Amino acid sequence: MLNTVRNKMGLKLERRQQVIGILFSLPAILYYSIFFLFPLSFTAYVSLHKWTILGEPEFIGLSNYVSSFSDPLFWNAIKVSLYYAFGVCIPIWGISLGMALLFNCEFKFKSIYLTLFFIPPIIGLVQWSLSWMMLYHPTFGVFNRIIYGLGYRGTLPWLTDPTLAMPAMIILSVVHGTPYYTIILLAAIRGFPRYFYEVAKLGGANFI
């Protein structure tokens, strides 16, 4: 009898904990549903219709996808997106890992350098972009001044030349994102147990 009562109390407690867990998760679930699942589902719905917004939607199946795959502009957009993604992600992770390994070492004024290094992610993306627009300015931008000082008698249209615009945006994104990922990797490196390094040294591992 006592065991039966305990089991019932245990089940009630478990159900209560489940309800409390769902209630605490509800805000996140609602946010995810409203701002991710609904837009994604509605976009999929619209993509299967011919809809001018002002009229009624007309179901056309996969015609929009067929016309997109046959459009050269679509494949150019894919190429540009891959160019930007690989141009940003690979340098960011490589540079971030190198900087994290550097800041993991002990040297003078390390805290000051680390603080200064982490300033870019704190700056808002709009302010950051406006600042770099000034740096890329074809007349009085810092980069063109540097190139002029190196002997090039001309100006480079960083943001209007098709061959320069994407590298310019990649540089902007890499400089802005590298400090953020450096901090993450630095935290991971510092959380790695030290005795693994000691065992590796005993095993003959070198710096690399």
Helices 110-117 and 72-103, interaxial angle, to 10°? 170
Residues forming beta bridges with residue 122, ordered by sequence position = none
Q: Which ranges of 105-161 does DSSP label H, i.e. alpha helix?
A: 110-117, 119-122, 125-135, 142-149
- pLDDT tens digits, residue range 99-146? 998 888 888 888 888 888 888 778 877 888 888 888 888 878 888 888
Q: What CATH superfamily is the domain 72-202?
A: MetI-like (1.10.3720.10)
- 3-state helix vs strand vs coil in the chain, percent to 5: 75, 0, 25
Q: Where in the chain is the domain with CATH 1.10.3720.10?
A: 72-202
pLDDT of residue 129: 82
C-beta of residue 87 within 8 angstroms of C-beta of residue 168: no
pLDDT of residue 80: 92
